[in-house]
Amino acid sequence: MVSSADADLVRRDPAIPGLGVVLDPDAFADALRRAAPGADVRAAQIAVLRYKPLCYCQVIYRLDVAGAELEVAVHACRPEDLAALLSDGNGDADGAGDRGPLGAGRIVLEQGAVLVTVFPNDPNLPALRPLTDGAERPRVLRESLPDRPELWEGELRCLRYRPGRRYVAELRAAGGARALLKCYSAKSYACGKTNATAFASRGPLRLARLLGHADGRGLLVFEWAPGRLLSDICTAPEFDGRSLTLAGSALAALHGQQVCGLACRTREDEAANLLAMAAEVATICPPLARRADGLARRVGALLAGAPAVHVPLHGDLSAKQVLVGELEAAIVDFDRACCGDPAADLGNVIAAAERYALRGLMPPSRVEPLRDTLFEGYARGTNGRVPGRIQLYWALGLLRRAHLPFYAHEPDWPRGVEWLVERAEAVLNRE
């Protein structure tokens, strides 16, 4: 049954007629059973969603089909956009795609202008179908990794999938050989490939080497980075100061490099992005509109008054992109690497930790000790220097995450959105 918050959102966005269906797992499962009567669809669960008001809502659903888990991408759009969506990427305008557990690989729910795409039928990720086909995969891996035969017969384990954007998987072969495989859309592949080799391992910092690529398929393959995820360390019962200190030192080693070819993130870019985030919060939670906009403008004004800084950054750092070993910490996923203010990476890690606390994954009282220990490690790698404006970027990171409770479709997502806005205000007021 759709929640009252979801129902209110549906009422405010009549441009997407299928919005009410895709936000309601029971209604979506019923619609899918009618469209694919031969499939034994038993249950549906929202994994994550993306929403552009008055335009589209894309939801990744996990289905129980005859007792097996199946992932589908569900795109609800304006009726006038459906034809273009059907022909996107490969000209397959009939929507059939490859056959699969639901019958066709792509199914149209005509009444609501909803397109259901069954994994791995993704026209924007050309490597996905052959990689998930056991017979085709070895050929693709030979092409991408000509000097790594031990990986050619490997199996894939999906780590992250964003329809039309990116697929990330662990490649595991006999004998324990492992690699990380990333499929990109044509739009993002060139940047991903450039950023993949922009930085180098140095001191406590370890980076995963690029092992191979297939330009025509939008495919990059990296060595497997060992270590324990910093997110698991942050949320463990015991506080692990050594690992946090090492992670801070590794980040300092990253920021200290001379890197060419990265995009530059300007103060104007940051302010514009923040206003867009505030507008998104206003759409999903109208009572927060004024507060979110006012907060975004305050942060933007402070950024505008700050000096321009062009240090190489990770650009989207959180504890999920850091793996800590005994002597080194690996930092991964440089798709959004850029030049900008080093305080952005540090503030983003702290904001991500606040979100763990919101979700009950760690006690709120741990956030500040985590921050202080991370800063201590960073200072060790910079002769005692820690960037200014971290508090500002901490608040910025919280506001950037304010939509995430809705995107994760958490049970009381309006309260989660409000909490993140409140925390951003509190942090900024301490600046």
Q: What is the mean pLDDT of each run of 10 residues along the chain (431 residues)?
A: 90 95 95 92 95 94 94 94 77 51 87 90 90 94 96 94 92 94 95 95 97 96 96 95 97 95 93 94 96 97 93 95 97 96 96 94 95 96 90 96 95 95 95 66
Per-residue pLDDT, 95: 45
The candidate with the shortest Cα–Cα distance to 355, out of 287, 416, 283, 279, is 416
Distance CA 15, CA 50 (A): 16
The candidate with the shortest Cα–Cα distance to 151, out of 162, 159, 160, 142, is 142
pTM here is 0.91
* Topology of the domain covering 128-223: Phosphorylase Kinase; domain 1 (3.30.200)
Distance CA 424, CA 107 (A): 42
Contact 401, 355 (CB under 8 A): yes
Domain boundaries, the chain: 4-118, 128-223, 228-429
CATH code: domain 228-429 is: 3.90.1200.10
Tokens of 334: 């440089």
Strand (E) or helix (H) holding 239: none
Q: Amino acid identity, residue 71?
A: E
Q: How far is CA 227 from CA 41, 122, 351, in A?
A: 39, 32, 23
Task: Give tens-digit pLDDT for 338-375.
Answer: 999 999 999 999 999 999 999 999 999 999 999 999 99
